[in-house]
């Protein structure tokens, strides 16, 4: 078997991206630091770092997508309970709810409906497949509750569990929003310090300190740090703040 067949298209794309980014970082490094050995060491370090970073971002994006998908679960459960109380079947109720919107959750629900309508899967199998492909504890709990109800029966008393779970998930979303709101002032202050104060101090040190001390920073180094390093730090800070955001309220689900 040829080597290229051992890798999927996504793995090949990851390898190509790793090499391209590492070469670009090595080029920037070579503009600042001279030396063949240092460049080789930095290049291999970049390879390992970029490979790890791409894997981490892929995993984190999966979790973030799961959080966004989870936004629609509470109101979905409440709507599902109402439709089942009206005597509709679980198949009909899910299909009608999947047509409600085009948010990430309802797109995934449309795929679930397609699986049991067109591909021959049972409703339970399609729902379990939904919970497996989305990294979300809330979704797994909701699917587990629905599958359990389909086995026990959709009586009014049993359907109260959907209402309880929906309100519990809503309370959790409100708690995460309050926690993020209490930290947003600190995050804003950190961003101002990183994006404004640090560059100003650096430029002041270069402009004034070079009059009295040998800083060892050339003009090209100062320019590269100002136009590349500090913007990268700003981008990293924005990504950090985005990482800490709860991802709630991005889509209007109801």
- 124 by DSSP, 3-state: which? helix
Write phi, then psi, for 247 (nearest 5 degrees): 70, 30
Mean pLDDT score, 134-139: 89
The structural domains of the chain, with segments of one domain joined by +, span: 3-64, 73-172, 173-244
pLDDT digits (tens, 9 = 90+) for 179-228: 888 888 888 888 888 888 888 888 888 777 666 666 666 677 777 777 77
Rounded to two decimals, the pTM is 0.68
Contacts of 66 (CB under 8 A, 6+ apart): 134, 135, 136, 139
- Token look-up 């700003």 returns 234
CA 178 to chain centre: 20
pLDDT digits (tens, 9 = 90+) for 3-24: 444 556 777 777 888 888 888 8
């Amino acid at each position: 078997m040829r080597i290229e067949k051992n890798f999927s298209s996504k793995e090949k794309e990851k390898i190509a991206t790793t090499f391209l980014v590492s070469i670009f970082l090595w080029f920037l490094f070579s503009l600042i630091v001279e030396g063949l050995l240092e460049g080789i060491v930095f290049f291999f370090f970049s390879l390992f770092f970029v490979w790890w970073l791409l894997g981490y971002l892929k995993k984190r994006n999966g979790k973030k997508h799961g959080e966004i998908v989870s936004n629609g679960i509470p109101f979905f459960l409440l709507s599902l309970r109402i439709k089942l109380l009206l005597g509709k079947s679980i198949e009909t109720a899910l299909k009608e709810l999947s047509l409600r919107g085009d948010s990430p959750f309802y797109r995934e629900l449309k795929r679930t409906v397609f699986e049991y309508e067109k591909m021959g899967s049972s409703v339970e199998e399609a729902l379990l497949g939904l919970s497996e492909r989305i990294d979300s504890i809330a979704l797994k709990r909701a699917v587990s509750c629905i599958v359990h109800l389909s086995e026990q029966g959709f009586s009014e008393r049993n359907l109260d569990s959907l209402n309880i779970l929906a309100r519990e998930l809503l309370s959790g979303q409100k708690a995460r929003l309050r926690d993020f709101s209490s930290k947003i002032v600190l995050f804003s202050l950190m961003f101002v310090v990183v994006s404004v104060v640090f560059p100003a101090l650096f430029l002041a040190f270069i402009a004034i300190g070079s009059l009295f001390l040998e800083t060892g920073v050339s003009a090209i180094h100062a320019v590269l740090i100002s136009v590349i390093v500090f913007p990268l730090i700003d981008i990293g800070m924005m990504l950090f703040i985005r990482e800490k955001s709860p991802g709630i309220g991005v889509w209007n689900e109801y």
